[in-house]
Homo-oligomer: A and B are copies of this chain.
């Protein structure tokens, strides 16, 4: 993360060059005066607990009202299992996109999808993509793999012990599976992946997690396995930890990208050139040309896969639908591909190897989150694979729409910019809201 000297001088260190340098640096020192009170109350949501917390904050009544509105206050018991030190709720606006025709192995039909975001034009852009997919007959989507792992580490005195330990574990998979099954009805230990690194052994215990995203499920099951190992292993680890960072939880990483974490889904659509022109005001060729540039750009910056903005669509669905939004870190990776066919159609596909979604557990049962899942008919049992396929279809729509906006800008930019005053053009990340919404509301 080096900073070039010249830049460094302009930034942090221009404050450090003047006469107050000493004072500024002194700001960094620990300060041991007394601190204000801790936030009281843990999981309690009683009036008293809420009052105590708000009293600490010393804010205007309007602030409290914005977070602790009547509906929220009324529902507070419903939030209890999902939050501690509760003080209210933040309201994230939801826009609807669709219909999005999904021809999946699990999800079938035309979906209206709720997206929660505060970023202008995002909903309009994804909506445009969804509609073009639908007009093209929908997108094929296939969930092709799944699995969530928890990855403990076991430390031994030396390699002789670590090798002996592995030799033992290889014969124990069935027992591990039994032990795991005592902790969960829906989860299932399916495999182990083993890493020997000197006297340390890492095991990725790979689970199917049913309709749950599954992080808690695999933790509890793996803890039970560790207890079994503690008791039964012929070689005792000097120490072990339930997680070593090898599960890849909450971080984009090469191991998950090159295998699977959560669900791996691939989707494609083939769009006639005429439809591209009609809805996207560009051509398959121009879109492909922009894609090529993006491919090189992706490679030059060293990212996982090739994609435009998976994170936008995934974050919006995850927030709306009570998913673990922090999993966007690992989920928003994958590979988009565009091609132009002999018949001047646009071929487009997206492949997401690390989609962490669930339709039970986590935030999926909270009132407004459940409502969002209900809009799609995707709350509860036997729906997680469908949700993964719908997410992938949404992402495909988003890739198409942003690419079209950029490739279209190529030709129109000069004119647009001059013709239209900058001030009133509340431009979005890619193009103006207006143009998206035009397309969206035609």
Contact = CB atoms under 8 A, between A and B. Distances in A.
A27 B104 contact: yes
Given A309-B249, A309-B326, A337-B198, A136 B296 contact: no
State how many copies of this chain the complex holds: 4
Contacts of A246: 2, 297, 300-301
A129 to B, nearest CB: 13
Contact of A254 (B121, B254, B407): B254
A284 interface: no
A110 to B, nearest CB: 5
Contacts of A134: 35
A202 B2 contact: yes
Interface in A68-108: 69-72, 75, 79, 81-99, 101, 103-105, 108
Contacts of A239: 289, 410
Given A163-B25, A319-B90, A197 B296 contact: yes
Contacts of A38: 98-99, 131, 440-442
Contact of A2 (B193, B268, B309, B366): B193
A178 interface: no
Contacts of A381: none
Q: For this complex, into which size category does the number of interface residues on chain A fall?
A: 35 or more
B93 A86 contact: yes
Contacts of A64: 371
Contact of A220 (B269, B319, B422): B422
Contacts of A112: 39, 56-57
A248 interface: yes
A328 interface: yes
Contact of A311 (B220, B251, B320): B251
Given A91-B367, A219-B427, A191 B5 contact: yes
A281 interface: no
Smallest CB-CB A-B distances: 4 pairs? A118-B363, A198-B349, A30-B137, A254-B302
